[in-house]
Chains A and B, each alone.
Chain A
């Protein structure tokens, strides 16, 4: 069942069309990868879904409610949260406080059932395998811990759909594998994910389906295997002479 339906979505910036007449669905319980070359409009799509941008036209239907143009915090309350392309945390507050800021109002979430909110924060940090003490300031974290903290903050609000914008950007292959493992565990726990990523290896590994964008439009859609074999995709990434995607 599709929980998010993006229809005819269009967004331009001063005459430059970033997203044009885009259609795709996100099915409940899946990991959907959104890929495409630089400038394809992927981050704009996330910004539109999460209310950080208002579309020029089109609808974003979440459980049959049009959320296009809604304020970001209202969208979070409906169960959609996000991370950012550049890891974004509250730098001058502790790791613990970064997570408690976003903590869901409900007594327990689908993933974390501890009735005490403080214990729930510690459980969330354990889930994302934070190695640093929770009392340390977020600005002192290395890149991979920043990524974990971002995910921890995002899942603290008990999302049904989690949008990750390049979650392994700037990480080593080992660190990327560890984030991929968190993504898989989140998905097994019932969270639907939409992931933008440049690292193909990771995206192919964790995604059930892929949507490929180029110049603001949808180029291809299907399972990782189908997309890998699509000559249009190879052309978008590698040019007309390009071979099949690695």
Chain B
């Protein structure tokens, strides 16, 4: 019989690699003078954190939300509306952005509770389209296409934003890692595996789905609010379907349900976006191609591909011994 230590598989190589990567990320602003590079990394960190919130719901809980940008967008608009009327500390603004997204998740979640699979996906898509249409159609309130502008910046310096965006991403990864190690987190994962069996295991699946969606929405709302502070404006694009498909592409490319997969996925797609700007009009086409190719050649995404290669390498080493 196994001991407790044997149940957990710890990988020292992975821990050292993560530590070295974090050291490099911390040192980068001192190694380069290229402000634009730091700006693109900030965008990648924002996209990665947002993609993590989608992966939480779709990859870990099996709830395919195709309107996830609504939580990101509502967090951003919350900051836009609040800062027009009041002066609030930015940290409170981020938390409020998250909480308003949680409130929206309850409004969406309760009527969608009985829906599964494609029906849930379509219902969430419909909700996000309603919000997008409202944002476009209420110019006095939302500024329509122009959005809400001149929002005071949370952190002015690019270096400060660079570190804060990393802090958000690392905090989200660590929090989710702890969550999915806990019994509560494993129960959330069980919903993806077999909802009926989860019920037989004593899990109130409706409550877990609502709580899980609220946690995911909180993260999306916070990062949406931060995005609004960083750019100093909020536009209907932040509620758009193309933003949702961006995170779908990011997660599928990086590896769905892997936690870390969203990070390389977000970096690759953000750098492609920024450095191949002339292909902007074909963005959705490129995303679709990326998703199709990944699903054809590695359903586990980029991370799955790396893991497979490492396994082959390790097996080769073992055999040669």
Contact of A77 among B9, B186, B202 (CB under 8 A): B202
A73:B2 contact, CB within 8 angstroms: no
Tell me how far the C-beta of B304 lies from the nearest C-beta in chain A, rounded to whole angstroms: 13
Q: Is the CB of A88 within 8 A of B194?
A: yes
**How far is it, in angstroms, between the C-alpha of A125 and the C-alpha of B2 when the chains are bound?**
10
Chain B residues near A73 (CB-CB < 8 A): 199, 202-205
Residues of B within 8 A of A185 (CB): none
Please report the number of residue pairs spanning A and B whose Cβ atoms sit closer than 8 angstroms: 87
Kindly state the separation between the CA atoms of A32 and B51 in the bound complex, as whole angstroms: 51
- Residues in B with CB closer than 8 Å to A88 are 194, 196-197, 200
Cβ-defined partner of B187 (8 Å) among A76, A101, A118: A101
Q: Are A117 and B183 in contact (CB under 8 A)?
A: yes
A92 pairs with B7, CB closer than 8 A: no
- Size bracket, chain A contacts: 35 or more
Q: Which of A52, A101, A156 contacts B198 (CB 8 A)?
A: A101
Contact A90/B197 with A122-B1, A133-B2 known, Cβ cut-off 8 Å: yes
A interface, by DSSP: helix, strand, loop or mixed? mixed
User: Who on chain B is nearest to A157 by CB?
Assistant: B202
Residues of the A chain whose Cβ atoms lie less than 8 Å from the Cβ of B314: none
Alpha-carbon gap, A130 to B189, bound state (A): 23
In the complex, chain A residues whose CB is within 8 Å of the CB of B192:
92
CB pair A71–B204 under 8 Å, yes or no, is: yes
- Cβ of B142 < 8 Å from any Cβ of A? no
Instruction: Check: B4 CB closer than 8 A to any chain A CB.
Output: yes
**Are the CB atoms of A135 and B190 closer together than 8 Å?**
no
Question: What residue of chain B has the Cβ atom nearest to residue A129's Cβ?
Answer: B1
CB proximity to A under 8 Å, residues B189-244: 189-190, 192-194, 196-205
User: Which of A89, A125, A135, A157 is B9 in contact with, Cβ under 8 Å?
Assistant: A135
Q: Which A-B residue pairs are the 5 nearest by beta carbons?
A: A76-B202, A102-B201, A90-B193, A72-B199, A73-B204
| 19 sample A-B contacts, Cβ–Cβ < 8 Å, listed by A number | A50-B200, A51-B199, A72-B199, A72-B200, A73-B199, A76-B202, A88-B197, A88-B200, A90-B194, A92-B193, A100-B186, A103-B183, A117-B183, A118-B7, A135-B7, A135-B8, A135-B9, A153-B201, A156-B201
